[in-house]
């Protein structure tokens, strides 16, 4: 069962990284109900990339590592990075701030 969970985790992380790189490179976001809400796809891509790094760290250092609690702080740091990525994704739903221009 452990191997199945590892394969599924790697698959989900790979798809997430691929979608984030597509959003960063081209501004393309996969079709779906939330697509229309994303006003800044590149920012959304960066947020997804950070979130995938965080959840990957959490999964492979925490639950999928085994019952060893020695890496607990590192796993929780991965969760904090995941939350930061979600925050960046949330910021992508809001329009960019206007910058002042001198005339």
Which residue shows structure tokens 């920012």? 43
| 38 vs 65 pLDDT, higher one | 38
User: In this predicted structure, what is the pLDDT of residue 68?
Assistant: 74
User: In this predicted structure, what is the pLDDT of residue 12?
Assistant: 95
User: In this predicted structure, what is the pLDDT of residue 45?
Assistant: 96
Residue 103 lies in a domain: no
**Confidence band of 103 (pLDDT split at 50, 70, 90):** low
Domain that holds residue 40: 2-91
User: In this predicted structure, what is the pLDDT of residue 34?
Assistant: 85
Q: What is the pTM of this model?
A: 0.86
The count of domains in the chain is 1
| 81 vs 102 pLDDT, higher one | 81
pLDDT at 53 over 90: yes
Segments in 1-103 forming alpha helices (H): 2-26, 41-61, 72-91
| 37 vs 71 pLDDT, higher one | 37
Residue 54 lies in a domain: yes
Residue 99 lies in a domain: no
Residue 24 lies in a domain: yes
How many Å separate Cα 14 from the centre of its chain?
11
List the structure tokens of 47.
Answer: 């947020």
């Amino acid at each position: 069962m452990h191997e199945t969970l590892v394969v599924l985790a790697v698959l989900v992380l790979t798809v997430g990284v691929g979608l984030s790189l597509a959003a960063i490179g081209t501004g393309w976001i996969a079709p779906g109900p939330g697509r229309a809400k994303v006003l800044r796809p590149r920012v959304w891509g960066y947020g997804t990339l950070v979130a995938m790094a965080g959840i990957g760290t959490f999964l492979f250092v925490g639950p999928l590592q085994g019952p060893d609690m020695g890496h607990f702080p590192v796993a929780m740091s991965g969760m904090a990075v995941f939350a930061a990525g979600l925050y960046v994704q949330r910021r992508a739903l809001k329009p960019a701030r206007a910058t002042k221009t001198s005339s």
